Amino acid sequence: ACDGLRLKLPKGNRAAMRRELMIWVRDCNESIEEFDEMLALGPRDDDDEEEEEQFSESEMKIARAAVNIMKCSKNTLGLVLKVCECVGESLDESTAGDENNKELLQLITNMHEVARRIGEGVTNFGVMLYPPLEASTNEEEFEQWQSTKASKTFRLDGEMDIPSLGSTSLGLQLEHQLHALAECVICIKKSELTTVTGEAIQTCYSEEVNDAVKKLMEAIPVRCKDSVGGVASWCA
C-alpha cells in the first residue's frame, strides 16, 4: 500500500509512514491473538489462585468489547493504507507542486496522524486489559477529557454519537479509541477535496475502500453499544 506515493513524498517520509502503519497493524494482530486466547479460557474461578490469566465473570463483557475494538482498529488501519494507495495513484506527477496535489498530500498526512492515534491507542488500552482489571478512576484524566470532548465530537459531523464510558482509566482509553476510529472513517467518507481532474476525492477510492468505509460505519456504533454494556457489567 501507499506505492502511489513513491514519487510524491520524500523517500524517508514515505518509508517511515509505511513502516509505522505496518507496525501498528502487526501490533493489533498480536494483541488480538493474545487476548482472544484469554477469552477462550472462559471466566476464572475466583477461588483458584492459578487462574490469574483469566478474566472474571464480570470482566468478560468489557474484555470482549475491548478486543472487538482492537479488531475494528486493525481494519481501520488497513483502510488508511488502502486510501493512501488510492489517493497516491490519483496525484498528477507532472504538476507535483500545485495546490491540489498539496491538499491531497496533506490529506494523506492527516490520515497518518489519525492512524497514529489509533495504533498507539491499541497499545494504551491493551496494557490495561490484563486480568484482573483495575477499576479505579482517574479524575484528573476524566476532567481533561470532558474539556476536550466537545471539539472531538464536532469532528464527527453528526454522523456518529460516541457514548461516555465512565471515568475508569480503561473506560476512558476505550472512549478515546472509539472517537479516533469514528473521526478517521468519517474523514475518509466526507472529505471535500477533489482530484486533479476536479472530481470528488471519493471517486478515486477503490470498491474495496468504499466497502470498508460502509462496514466500519456500521461496526463502530455496535462497538460503542458493546462497550457501554461491558462497562456496566464490570463496574456494577
pLDDT for position 1: 38
What is the C-alpha separation between 16 and 19, in angstroms, rounded?
5
Query: Is the pLDDT assigned to residue 82 strictly greater than 80?
Result: yes
User: What's the mean per-residue pLDDT of the chain?
Assistant: 84
pLDDT in tens, 89-128: 776 554 555 677 778 778 888 888 989 999 999 999 999 9
pLDDT in tens, 192-232: 777 767 788 888 889 999 999 999 999 999 999 999 999 99
Q: What's the half-sphere exposure (Cβ side, CA atoms, 13 Å) at 56?
A: 13
Identity of the residue numbered 3: D
Per-residue pLDDT averaged across 61-89, rounded? 93
pLDDT in tens, 140-157: 888 888 888 776 665 676
Selection from 206, 222, 224, 227 nearest residue 78 by Cα: 206
pLDDT for position 119: 95
Query: Is the pLDDT assigned to residue 175 strictly greater than 90?
Result: yes
What is the C-alpha separation between 166 and 52, in angstroms, rounded?
25
